[in-house]
Structure 1
Amino acid sequence: MKFIVDSLVSRLVQTGDLTITYPDGSAGTYGDRKGRRVHIRVNTRKALFGLAFDPAYYLGHYYGTGDIDVVEGEMYDLLETVFTGNPDFKYYDTRWNRMLDRLRYLVRWFRQKNGIVRSRRNVQHHYDLTGALYDLFLDEDRQYSCAYFERPDQTLDEAQLAKKRHIAAKLHINRPGQTVLDIGCGWGGMALYLARHMGAKVTGVTLSDEQHALAEKRARDAGLDDTVSFLLQDYRNTEGPFDRIVSVGMFEHVGRPNYLTYFRKSAALLKRDGVMLLHTIGRTDRPAANNPFIEKYIFPGGYIPALSEIMQSVEKSGLAITDIEILRLHYAQTLRHWRTRFMARREEAKALYDERFCRIWEFYLAASESAFRWQNLVVFQLQLVHDQEAVPLTRDYIGRDEDCLRAHEANPKGERRGARQFPQEASI
């Protein structure tokens, strides 16, 4: 097994400075010895076997169990060395790893067939962790999805506010009191933004008890509980119709077998002149299996789609796409903020849970950032309608409404809530 790992790493790391200490005490050095030094120790033979057999899963798994240690540097440094050490070769390009990926892809349909009960269980696995954990690394509004960096020097809170503003503008809410459904509303930040700055009447749905409880409290504390309501409910049981639908960071939990159900339900809930905005992680290449570590430990039942997979279901749903935007490195920047914050408060996370939990989450954040920075993950923002005249003919309205929202954010008490100037009705 040592020979297999040594051979693989020799091909992967031709630049950089990586040392691996093996269970027998021997050490291998890889790269051109330039750049940040990284040293890992493989403590057990089972961990060595795992790295040889399936590194996509077992590197994170055995780092979590303590069978692999990072002696110098951090886990992120190791992943950077691996993913940038040889642009012409990736570990998943080997025949064996391609076969494993194909096998996972073939069985994904059974693993992702998320009925209502299973969906709730999957959501609770991740989102019903204590809120104190998320306070360690998220922004003040607890936005747990890709931020929108209008400038490289923006803070995380500024970029998350820009994300909400950007999505709100694309929803094209053009009069006070329009009804909005927020599918997968999280802790309520998007819904509260739409009510506060656009005068919308918002219904948010979530399957997380923790998120539902905090979202309701936030609405009460903000004095918005007359215009914002949160339901502990599956989107498939929601009744409409709504003028607008927004879904941010939820579609990744739907599961490939349920895509047509998702879009047909959305079409049924959306009024004929309505607008829907879907914000989801996606892949830039062909459909493939999820990362097995992330699927087991972080997001069970989840799936990251290729754009082609989304389009197949949209085309059969009765909805039409009027705008597609690809956010490329925005999530890499978001995850860098999260990872840096988490590592700075790692001891607090350990006090909430334990060392194994911290290692798993450190790997999750580092691997996710790597996937957006050097691999094939991006974020899709899709605008969908029934009627092509539901939005203006050109995209200029997005920037204009963002400017209007910025002004309202700067002086939210200077006018009656919802009394800001709205864009004109769409026309050609």
Structure 2
Amino acid sequence: MKNEPLTKMSRVKKGVTWLLAIVVGLIGLVLVYAFTFYPAEYTLRVLRWRDADVYDYQKFPERPFPPSDAPFHFTQAPAEAMVQTLFEMDTAVDDLDTFLAETGTQAFIVIQNDAILYEKYFNGAAQDSIVTSFSVAKSFTSALVGIAIEEGHIQSVSDPITDYLPELLESDPAFQDITIRDLLLMSSGIRYQEFPFVSGDDAKTYYYPDLRDLALYQTEVVGTPGEIFLYNNYHPLLLGLILERATGQPVAEYLAEKIWQPMGAAYAGSWSLDEQGFEKMESGINGRAIDFAKFGRLFLHEGSVNGEQIIPAHWVREATLADTSLPDSYYPDWFHEALPNGFYKYMWWGRQHGGQPDDFAALGNHGQFIYVSPHKNLIIVRHGERYGVESFKWMQLFYDFATQLEPIVE
């Protein structure tokens, strides 16, 4: 009887040892699987870098592009007190500056009628600090597609993607039913699963060293194009391939020539690349917050900069207005709950505004935003190290601010 506690302790130790051995064994099997079926460089990136980070642009190679020869500068019309008061009407915001700092915000800019009402930087950032786009890059990609169509490089959004990417037919003839429009609307029917581990499509489309190969030879059609909305990072990769082939130049060069420089960017930018020199289409534009605001301005003015049409006006309207013909079943339940009266159109998120022109936003991981409210001539840019609050809570904050903001009559 005296040895009974020792016997129980020994059994517990043995049990813990066996449990640790099983866990280690499972981890070993997962690692063997990962290194067997995926490139070692990709697997090591997932293990080493883990979740995407706003400073990842420092890790990837990049294709730089220069600033504009004639940079545009917003005028100054400081109205900090008014901006703070309107945002602080939300119960989540006691003090705007404190809220922004505590939510990991790097840059926050509010612009109305081309005049900066509020511009502040937090958590060690400044106006010349590089920030990254994450999925805000998708909205740039969409704009480039509109320009390529206008220039005749691409015939129309109704083109089957296999007209430009015939290799897809080797995998499945069903790819010929997918159009460029289906990619822009996130409704292609291409399989997309966020998890788990190295086999998750989120990780693959972010870290894979050869994104061309991934998009062309490792995608699968599992649904009917145009039937349901499914956010899918293979779509911008495929659009990037189409742009690259149709224009005959790297996508970053096309961006610099057609958008970055014409819109009046004051700073140089870059687009992060995979190891084969292909742009990370789903996430990788890097620049300064004030220049991202100029992309919002470009869409606020229907693609025009100082009288020069950079993006076709009809494309801007088509890309940012809700398609009211879609059935409720097109969007999943979470979409209706997270974004009331919301929509997704040509890689822009939108909110209908009660008889006024729709608000729309480019949205990226960790809370990167370019928010545009046309009927208030308003642009809001937020960049952050993390969301700080749920992503669509930011959209609600911007929407409420735009609703309360008085329009400026010129």
Give the TM-score of the pair, scaled to structure 2.
0.30
* Structure with higher helix content: 1
Give the TM-score of the pair, scaled to structure 1.
0.29
Bigger relative contact order, structure 1 or 2 (CA pairs below 8 A, ≥6 apart): 2
